[in-house]
Amino acid sequence: MRNATELKPGEIRLGVVQWLVRNFASVEIFLDKIEHQVQSFANYGVDFVLYPEYFSMPLLTLFPAAKERDRLVAMTSITNHLMEEISRMAHTYQVNVITGSIPELSPGGELRNATYLCKRDGSVEKYLKIHLTPYEKHAWHMVPGNKLGVFDTDCGRIGIQTCYDVEFPELGRLYADAGVQILFVPFSTDSQEGFFRVRHCAQARAIENECYVAIAGCVGYLPEVSAIEFQYGESAIFTPSDYAFPQGAVKSQLPANVESIIVSDVDLELLHNLHHRGSVRNLQDRRKDLYHLQASDKLKMPLEIDLEKTISNS
């Protein structure tokens, strides 16, 4: 972690991993690669590292079975081990690590798409993907989460949405009303069409909700695992669109289909100024006399957030 004297108030350094899917001979080799990366990010003074959705899927080759869903269920036997090791890395190297997503089983034996926030204080929190794709629902029989991915960290309040989640603007607005300043979106897309759905929606969420959005995806070709046989991605960090932000509202972006990383700073003070002095003010100028967003009773609020009170005061 950077020395405090190197930081200005509100400045956060983000690390984004564009992950190449390839075979791993063992879980230990997979974890060794992650540890090397996390240590390198720590040397760069990064506050958060974001991994892609399903970046652990190459480990399916270690769990042979006739059906892919059965392989996923078998892989959940190492989920706790993966999380314990990545949490150890986060604490050792003092970097908050967002694990992309890893399949897990619920206490009732249901398959879920889980993303873990491994904080550098050693604690771990979890987000379950709310919007499942047709493939996740029908081929893998996954079940969705029902809780917002909003978390308090040592760098402020952040949000996590997994891939398809970011294509639903209502969810992003609930996050904004809950005070999220940085939204992390791990994704996995097998085509340019799928990628651009994620990208354009992520950019829209940054602009309409006046926040930063980081997206991280897998790249490459792994025919041994049909779910990630083809992967297309261009990982990036998006900003609002106003005078204080980069032209085009893109802070950083990686080229397509190469294994690489982003290290980039974002400034929370710029968001504060935008909320109050922006050339347009998307959050303030909503016509609440004409429309409003109301969460269902089924949606569980994290952090004991009183969402209705937060919305009424925004």
Q: Could you list the active site residues?
A: 53, 129, 163
What residue has token string 């996954």? 142
CA torsion sign, 135 to 141 to 142 to 144? positive
